[in-house]
Chain A
Amino acid sequence: MKFLRSLFSASTLLSVSIGAVLNSGCTTVVIDEYRRSNGELAAGDTVVILGRRHSSEYETEPDLIDCVGQTLHNPKAGVNVIPEQQFVDALYPWFEPRTAPMHIKSLSKLMDVPDVRDRMEKYGVKYIVWIDGNTETTSSAGSIGCSIGTAGAGCFGFGTWDKESDYEASVWDFRDQELSGKISADAQGTSYMPAIVVPIPLIARVQNNACKGMAAQLQEFLLPPQSASR
Chain B
Amino acid sequence: MNRLSKGLGAVKTTAILIFAGLLTACAHTVSVDGQFPTPVGNQHPLTVGIYLSEDFRQFTYSENRDDRDEWNINTGRAQKNLFETVLGSMFKETVNLAQYPSNLPQGIDLVIVPEVRELQFTMPRETRVNIFEVWIKYDMHAYNQQGDSVAEWVITAYGKTPTAFLKSQEAALAQAINVALRDAGATLYTGFERVPELQAFLASRQRALTMKRTDADIQ
Question: Which A residues form the contact surface with B (CB < 8 A)?
Answer: 53, 56-59, 61-63, 89-94, 96-99, 113-116, 119
Q: Hey, which chain A residues are within 8 Å of B41, CB to CB?
A: 94, 113, 115-116
User: Please, how many residues of chain B have a CB less than 8 angstroms from a CB on the other chain?
Assistant: 24
Residue interface bits B108-138, CB-to-A below 8 A is 1, else 0: 0000000000000000000001010000000
Check: B80 CB closer than 8 A to any chain A CB: no
In the assembled complex, the Cα of A138 lies from the Cα of B189 at a distance in Å of 40
* Chain A contact residues, majority secondary structure: loop
In the assembled complex, the Cα of A93 lies from the Cα of B161 at a distance in Å of 18
Whether B40 pairs with A98 at a CB distance below 8 angstroms is no
CB distance from B127 to the nearest CB of A (A): 10
Q: Which of B135-191 contact A (CB under 8 A)?
A: 158, 160-162, 164-165, 179, 182-183, 185-187, 189-190
CB distance from A89 to the nearest CB of B (A): 4
Check: B103 CB closer than 8 A to any chain A CB: no
In the assembled complex, the Cα of A205 lies from the Cα of B179 at a distance in Å of 28
Interface centre among B165, B186, B187 (most CB of A within 10 A): B186
Q: Hey, which chain B residues are within 8 Å of A93, CB to CB?
A: 39, 86, 182, 185-186, 189-190
Interface centre among A96, A113, A114 (most CB of B within 10 A): A96
Residue interface bits B34-48, CB-to-A below 8 A is 1, else 0: 001111111000000
Q: Hey, which chain A residues are within 8 Å of B187, CB to CB?
A: 98
Whether B162 pairs with A97 at a CB distance below 8 angstroms is no
Q: Hey, which chain A residues are within 8 Å of B40, CB to CB?
A: 90-92, 94, 113, 115-116, 119
Q: Which of A92, A116, A119 contacts B182 (CB 8 A)?
A: A92
Q: Hey, which chain B residues are within 8 Å of A92, CB to CB?
A: 36-40, 182, 185-186
Whether B160 pairs with A98 at a CB distance below 8 angstroms is no
* Chain B contact residues, majority secondary structure: mixed
- Check A63/B39 contact, CB under 8 A, given A93-B185, A93-B189, A96-B183: no
In the assembled complex, the Cα of A69 lies from the Cα of B19 at a distance in Å of 50
In the assembled complex, the Cα of A47 lies from the Cα of B164 at a distance in Å of 27
Whether B129 pairs with A115 at a CB distance below 8 angstroms is no
A63 and chain B: residue at smallest CB distance: B165
Whether A90 pairs with B37 at a CB distance below 8 angstroms is yes
B186 and chain A: residue at smallest CB distance: A93
Q: Hey, which chain A residues are within 8 Å of B164, CB to CB?
A: 61
Whether A61 pairs with B186 at a CB distance below 8 angstroms is no
Whether B165 pairs with A113 at a CB distance below 8 angstroms is no
B188 and chain A: residue at smallest CB distance: A93
In the assembled complex, the Cα of A92 lies from the Cα of B40 at a distance in Å of 6
In the assembled complex, the Cα of A58 lies from the Cα of B163 at a distance in Å of 11
CB distance from A69 to the nearest CB of B (A): 16
Whether B165 pairs with A98 at a CB distance below 8 angstroms is no
Of the A-B pairs whose beta carbons lie under 8 Å apart in the complex, a sample of 28, sorted by A's number, is A53-B160, A56-B160, A58-B129, A58-B131, A59-B131, A59-B160, A59-B161, A59-B162, A61-B162, A61-B165, A89-B37, A90-B37, A92-B39, A92-B40, A92-B185, A93-B39, A93-B182, A93-B189, A94-B41, A96-B182, A97-B183, A98-B186, A98-B187, A113-B41, A114-B42, A115-B40, A115-B42, A119-B40
